[in-house]
Structure 1
Amino acid sequence: MAEINVENLKVVYRGVILALQGVSMRAGTGEAIALLGPNGAGKSTLVRAMAGLLPQYDGRVLDGKIVINGQEANHLPALKVAELGLTAILEGRPIFRYLTVTENLRAAAHKLSPQRQKEITDEIFTRFPRIYERRFEQGGYLSGGEQQMLLLGMALLTEPKILVVDEPSLGLSPKLTEEVMRVLDELRRDKGLTLVLVEQNARAAFSIVERVYVMEQGRVVFEGTAQEAQADADVMEFYLGGAVAGGFSEAKRYRRRKRWV
């Protein structure tokens, strides 16, 4: 089993800032879903909550629950969440920039036996030849795409069942974005992972996910298949970067209708 369920989750920062206002979502075993929406929608807060990282950001769960593989995880620390099989790759590419690629991988594999570490590291170098070529270079000297591949390799060394990836295409060229999405799709299928992809680049996400949640202002405002999201003109125009017929005045009128909330 590798599933996550979030039910009516409310999250507050510093005791006063309500960041999530009753968010519900689910990802079943082996499923790929996307969390989409603009900056400030609450996507990264949801990732932090699922990964047990809210205390590091002075946040806490106010109400609702998170269930990972059948176990409630509302207040579990990050290490306990990882033991349940969930690994999160946060935005900003948080590698150890002064360590070499090999040292970064070794740090991620600290719980594995030497034999298992070697097996997975060999697989990583096979999947990511460029990372192998640069294995003795410091992580901070890698390109954005190479750092993203390194992070995926580090995640594999935790042997996840659920992989949550926050903004993997941020700052990447269209070609590199396509490559990252291809690798994520391959990893999910080859490893049987449950994938939660958090993205602003909706079109990139649509290429590999089955279902979509669109968030705005701490709420889920749309839930459906990737095909349904692409067929919904309102979703595409006002939340995922499509053209807005009628210009800015039409967009303002649409916002006032509050169709989502």
Structure 2
Amino acid sequence: MELLVENLKAVYRGVILALDGVSLRVGPGEAVALLGPNGAGKSTLVRAVAGLLPKFEGRVLDGHIRLNGQEATHLDPVRLSALGLTALLEGRPIFRHLTPLENLVAAGHRLSPKALKEGIEEVFARFPRLFERRNEQAGYLSGGEQQMLLLGMALLTEPKLLVVDEPSLGLAPKLVAEVMATLDALRREKGLSLLLVEQNARAALGVVDRVYVLERGRVVFEGDAKAAMADQDVMEFYLGKDVVGFREAKRYRRRKRWV
């Protein structure tokens, strides 16, 4: 599935500009990372693409969101899901008082009984730890286990485009690597398009084809992953290479590139 965002402007409460003319593209079967610091507008873009901005007192002022060429700027989440878009928001929004098995059943409610059974078996085969804890309360799972449950739930929606917001948040480095490897495997095995929204640039760059960098609601860098890793500005600004701190990098590089 192709996602096309064109000159998107979005505000909160009618006055707070969060996105200021953002454009990006995720091609069919492509993995794209959207990087940037806190407050850059990454989560706002996810909410806009997923049709969730109104629930956060936000709205799209201008621009377009298209899925396979179809206008989707103001579609609600149910219609977007029917088109094949599944968004995993930050904070791991699972049903915490239900078991992992019950969470998976809820996520696959549109499937036939046979397809649901096969889907759940696939999820448990992919994430054995979830199978071990399938009848425990999901709120007591570890952060990594909850992220795996969320990915399993997403699989049961049969997505064509997966939008994942900050999957590494709060996870230990080993678990971050496991989550990223899982996303990469799912994308390749299922032929999914993937938009990975991350603050952890080092983790994201290893599993994507192309990169956009967002700052203050604007795209300030666009290129393939290798170009991003070779770009001194991007590496210093987001990975801290040869720079003492985040603020120093920002001041030093802003005149040259950052807007």
Normalised-by-shorter TM-score class: over 0.9
Letter in 2 for 1:11: A
| Alpha-carbon distance in 1 for matches of 2:80, 2:204 | 25
**Residue ranges of structure 1 left out of the alignment (5+ in a row):** none
Q: 2:93 — aligned with what? A: 94
**Residues of 2 paired with 1:78 and 1:162: CA distance?**
13
Counterpart of 1:53?
52
Question: RMSD between aligned alpha carbons?
Answer: 1.5
Question: Helix, strand or coil: the match of 2:184?
Answer: helix
Give distance in 2, aligned partners of 1:246 and 1:130: 38
1 CA distance for matches of 2:247 and 2:99?
Answer: 48
Which amino acid letter does the alignment assign opposite residue 129 of structure 1? P
Partners of 2:35 and 2:246 in 1: how far apart?
A: 23
Give me the whole-angstrom Cα distance separating, in 1, the residues matched to 2:40 and 2:47: 14
Q: Which residue of 2 aligns with 1:65?
A: 64
Look up the match of 2:223.
Answer: 224
Could you report, residue by residue, the CA deviation over 1:68-108 in whole angstroms, capped at 9, with x for unpaired residues?
12211111111111111000000000001100011111111
Identity %: 71
Q: Which runs of 4+ in 1 moved over 6 A?
A: none
Aligned pair count?
Answer: 259
Relative to structure 1, the CA distance from residue 141 to residue 246 in structure 2 (aligned partners, 3 Å threshold; closer, same or farther) is closer
**Structure 1 residues 129 and 41, CA gap change in structure 2 (3 angstroms):** same
The residue correspondences of 1:87-236 to structure 2 (distance < 5 A) are 87-236=86-235
AA partner of residue 81 (structure 1):
L
Task: Give the 3 Å change call, closer, same or farther, for CA 240–218 of structure 1 in structure 2.
Answer: farther
Would the alpha carbon gap of residues 17 and 102 (structure 1) be closer, same or farther in structure 2, given more than 3 Å must change?
same
Q: Which amino acid aligns with 1:132?
A: F
* Deviation at residue 31 of structure 1 after TM alignment: 0.3
In 2, the alpha carbon distance for the partners of 1:106 and 1:246 equals 46
Q: What TM-score results when the alignment is normalised by the length of structure 2?
A: 0.96
Question: 1:168-221: per-residue Cα shift (whole Å, max 9, x none)?
Answer: 011111111111011111100110000110111111111110100000000000
Deviation at 1:248, TM superposition (A): 5.8
| SS of residue in 2 equivalent to 1:10 | strand
So what's the TM-score if we normalise by structure 1? 0.96
Structure 2 residue ranges without an equivalent (≥5): none
